[in-house]
């Protein structure tokens, strides 16, 4: 009796040691793998994101330009008065991703956004006056049919969010700095 | 039916004998590929596995030669491929073989999969063979996807952007995963470099899984068009010379088709936009993946609505696309019928054929813009795809009255049933 109790005791202690050793091994291997995984994350030089300065003096009302920032297109649009009123008039309850127009701009006539569809990353069309602009007169993503309004907000289609507004500031009246 | 069941002959060649005594590789090859008993009623559908294997070897050989000329840098990649086409000896040929080889690989493997579906080869005791097969398919897709990014044309760039962005659909972890995949804020030089590294690596992983696939298959032996297992030696013929000759003939026809594409229509299965260098500021009006991805792409796009209340459209599409491969892998457990071959399954044979038509329809709408009737068709076809596995296959297995099975392969061959 006492012998079998002893044996049981021994088995349990051995199991404990075995499990401890195994978990240490797993944790150690995991820790050793981490540098490999993390090396695939954006590197320091990539993260040291250059900011870009954009001269907006030459953009006439109703025109847009596209500038590259962090490898992505940034849309700068000089909006017309009608576009601004259309964007401000929208009932927030009609929006899949509710945001007021004023929260998306520094100055109402200048709309600055990352020109990447929030669905799967295509560049929507609508920058040139001849482009299709979608059902809401803003931008249209041809990849899977997302429609954005004159504030760059998603209105229809598979994209879940509004076009992203990057961090930017007006250096002066004709110069903005993105990033 | 493993190697030990077929003792090797005394090898005459002394070098072979010397090696074999120390590493019984020749005994193994003799057992598995010379005297290995094959059902005697195999048709040409059984030749496609070997064809796929040959294409894999061709892909590695041409790929290594291309890699010696290729430069994995966003500023140089496109031009390095154009240089192959113009200046490097025979590189145009190697590249066209590699490009069309990817398509031929999928053609062979899709027919190989159809064979398994129709003749029930995936059933007990071959479930693991089947699962390794689906793993190979997934690895092939990853390899081909990354290879297509390498020439750094417009379709390369935007295909890579759209597909990597799929992962952003997962809540919370999505965005970090995508940045990790890219190594930056968009598909860029770090992405191209890692895709090249993985594109070089994965085919060798495929080789390893093919070994497992074949080893697991040799455990149970090949299935056959009757689905009745081999009962005696009467039912079999030896692998060599019978299957080697038959497979060699099938392979020649296959290579003939391959050569037709390489020499006569090398860009037929490709997309002209990929001869425009990648431009991160402008997306082509109509992005389409390579033809072999179209059915899965259609399933991805079919979900453009909120799925229940907690799955947004984007995530729903992604889950269904991965799910379509998962249900394929689980097929042995959805099929409730005891009978393997559709020859003896009067209802299910039509279900398999309808399923193939459904996949072709998915492939067709996957290549069309997501608008109008195409959207509706892709939804219905996606629904049918899943219904085939989750509902039709188990239910037909229960209600169907199978035709009488022959007692043995020999009986079926002699009576011609
Ligand atoms: C499973 C096997 C493989 C598949 C399915 C595959 C698929 C592909 C595809 C679809 C392309 C794009 C061709 C084009 O449009 O130009 C490609 C390109 C390339 N592959 Fe592979 N590949 C495989 C194996 C390999 C291997 C083993 C290597 C190297 C050792 C390799 C090296 C390359 C290189 C350097 C390119 C870029 C040159 C080019 O675009 O023609 N491939 N691959
Ligand atoms: S990427 Fe814009 S709709 Fe899909």
DSSP A30-94: HHHHHHHHHTTSPPHHHHSPPPEEEE-TT--TT-EEEEEETTEEEEEEE--HHHHHHHHHS-GGG
In sequence order, the β-bridge partners of residue A69 are A72
Q: What percent of chain A has pLDDT over 70?
A: 94
Q: Point out the residues of A that are catalytic.
A: 144
**pLDDT digits 0-9 by tens, B60-114:** 999 999 999 999 999 999 999 999 999 999 999 999 999 999 999 999 999 999 9
Instruction: Judge whether B290 and B151 are in contact, CB under 8 Å.
Output: no
Q: Which atom of ligand 1 is nearest to the CA of B151?
A: 40
Instruction: Give the Cα separation of A149 and A156 in Å (integer).
Output: 9
Q: Name the residue with higher pLDDT: A30 or B305.
A: A30
Q: Pick B286's closest partner by Cβ from A46, A120, A142.
A: A142
Helix (H) or strand (E) holding A168: strand A168-172
Q: Which atom of ligand 2 is nearest to the CA of B162?
A: 1
- Nearest residue on chain B to A70, alpha-carbon basis: B185
- Interface contact flag, A66 B281, Cβ < 8 Å: yes
pLDDT of A7 > 60? The answer is no
pLDDT of B5 > 80? The answer is no
pLDDT of A8 > 70? The answer is no
Mean pLDDT (chain B) is: 93
- Is residue B2 very low, low, confident or very high in pLDDT (cuts 50, 70, 90)? very low
Helix (H) or strand (E) holding B103: helix B91-119
pTM (two decimals): 0.90
Q: Which atom of ligand 2 is nearest to the CA of A144?
A: 3
- Is residue B171 very low, low, confident or very high in pLDDT (cuts 50, 70, 90)? confident
**Count of CB pairs separated by less than 8 Å, A with B:** 86
pLDDT of A1 > 50? The answer is no
Three-state secondary structure call for residue B212:
helix
Region B298-314: what's the mean pLDDT? 76
Instruction: Give the Cα separation of B230 and A109 in Å (integer).
Output: 79
In sequence order, the β-bridge partners of residue A77 are A64, A111
**Distance from the B205 Cα atom to the nearest Cα atom in chain A, whole angstroms:** 19
Instruction: Give the Cα separation of B6 and B27 in Å (integer).
Output: 9
**pLDDT digits 0-9 by tens, B219-277:** 999 999 999 999 999 999 999 999 999 999 999 999 999 999 999 999 999 999 999 99
Using an 8 Å CB-CB cutoff, list residues of chain B that contact chain A: 158, 161-166, 179-188, 190, 194, 280-283, 285-287, 301, 304, 312-314, 317, 369-371
Instruction: Give the Cα separation of B301 and B364 in Å (integer).
Output: 13
Decide which of 3.30.1330.60, 2.40.50.100, 2.102.10.10, 3.40.50.11540 is the CATH code for A47-178: 2.102.10.10
With a 6 A CB cut-off, is B81 part of the ligand 1 pocket? yes
Q: DSSP assignment of B134-177, as one string?
A: HHHHHHHHHHHHHHHHTT-BHHHHHHHHHHHHGGGGSTTTHHHH
What is the per-residue pLDDT for B1? 42
Region B39-45: what's the mean pLDDT? 95
Helix (H) or strand (E) holding B300: helix B294-302
Three-state secondary structure call for residue B47:
helix
pLDDT of A10 > 80? The answer is no
């Amino acid at each position: 009796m006492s012998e079998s109790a002893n044996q049981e005791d021994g088995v349990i202690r051995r199991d404990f040691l075995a499990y401890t050793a195994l978990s240490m091994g797993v944790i150690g291997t995991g820790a050793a793998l981490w540098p490999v995984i993390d090396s695939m994350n954006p590197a320091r030089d990539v993260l040291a994101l250059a900011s870009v300065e954009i001269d907006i003096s030459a953009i006439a009302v109703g025109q847009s330009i596209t500038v590259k920032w962090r490898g992505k297109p940034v849309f700068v649009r000089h909006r017309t008065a009608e576009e601004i009123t259309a964007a401000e008039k929208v009932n927030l309850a009609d929006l899949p991703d509710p945001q007021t127009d004023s929260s998306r701009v520094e100055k109402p006539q200048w709309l600055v956004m990352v020109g990447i569809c929030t669905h799967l990353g295509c560049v929507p069309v609508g920058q040139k006056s001849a482009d299709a602009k979608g059902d809401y007169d803003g931008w249209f993503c041809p990849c899977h049919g997302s429609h954005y309004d004159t504030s760059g907000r998603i209105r229809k289609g598979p994209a879940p969010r509004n076009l992203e507004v990057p961090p930017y500031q007006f250096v002066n009246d004709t110069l903005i700095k993105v990033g | 039916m493993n190697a030990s069941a077929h003792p090797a002959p005394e090898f005459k060649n002394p070098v072979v004998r010397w090696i074999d005594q120390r590493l019984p590789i020749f005994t193994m090859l003799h057992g598995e590929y010379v005297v290995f008993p094959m059902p005697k009623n195999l048709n040409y559908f059984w030749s496609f596995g070997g064809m796929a294997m040959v294409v894999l070897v061709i892909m590695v050989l041409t790929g290594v030669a291309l890699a010696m000329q290729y430069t994995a840098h966003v500023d140089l990649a496109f031009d390095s491929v154009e240089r192959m086409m113009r200046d490097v000896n025979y590189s145009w040929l190697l590249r066209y073989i590699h490009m069309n080889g990817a398509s031929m690989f999928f053609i062979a493997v899709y027919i190989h999969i159809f064979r398994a579906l129709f003749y029930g080869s995936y059933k007990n005791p071959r479930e693991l063979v089947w699962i390794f097969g689906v793993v190979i398919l997934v690895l092939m897709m990853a390899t081909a996807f990354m290879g297509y990014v390498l020439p750094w044309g417009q379709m390369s760039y935007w295909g890579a952007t759209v597909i990597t962005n799929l992962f952003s659909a997962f809540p919370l972890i999505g965005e970090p995963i995508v940045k990790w995949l890219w190594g930056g804020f968009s598909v860029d030089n770090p992405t191209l470099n890692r895709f090249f590294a993985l594109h070089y690596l994965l085919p060798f992983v495929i080789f390893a899984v093919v070994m497992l696939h074949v080893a697991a298959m040799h455990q149970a032996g090949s299935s056959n068009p009757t689905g009745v297992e081999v009962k005696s030696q009467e039912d079999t013929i030896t692998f060599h010379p019978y299957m080697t000759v038959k497979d060699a003939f099938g392979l020649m026809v296959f290579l003939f088709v391959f050569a037709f594409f390489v020499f006569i229509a090398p860009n037929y299965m490709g997309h002209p936009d990929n001869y425009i260098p990648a431009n991160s500021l402008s997306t082509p009006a109509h992005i389409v993946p390579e033809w072999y991805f179209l059915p899965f792409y259609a399933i991805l796009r079919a979900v453009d609505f909120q799925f229940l209340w907690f799955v947004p459209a984007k995530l729903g599409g992604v889950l269904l696309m991965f799910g379509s491969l998962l249900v394929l892998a689980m097929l042995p457990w959805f099929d409730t019928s005891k009978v393997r071959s559709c020859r003896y399954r009067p209802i299910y044979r039509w279900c398999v054929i309808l399923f193939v038509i459904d996949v072709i329809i998915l492939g067709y709408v996957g290549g069309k813009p997501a608008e109008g009737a195409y959207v509706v068709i892709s939804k219905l076809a996606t629904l049918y795809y899943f219904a085939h596995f989750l509902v039709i296959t188990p239910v037909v297995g229960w209600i169907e009255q199978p035709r009488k099975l022959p007692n043995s392969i020999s009986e079926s061959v002699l009576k011609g049933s």
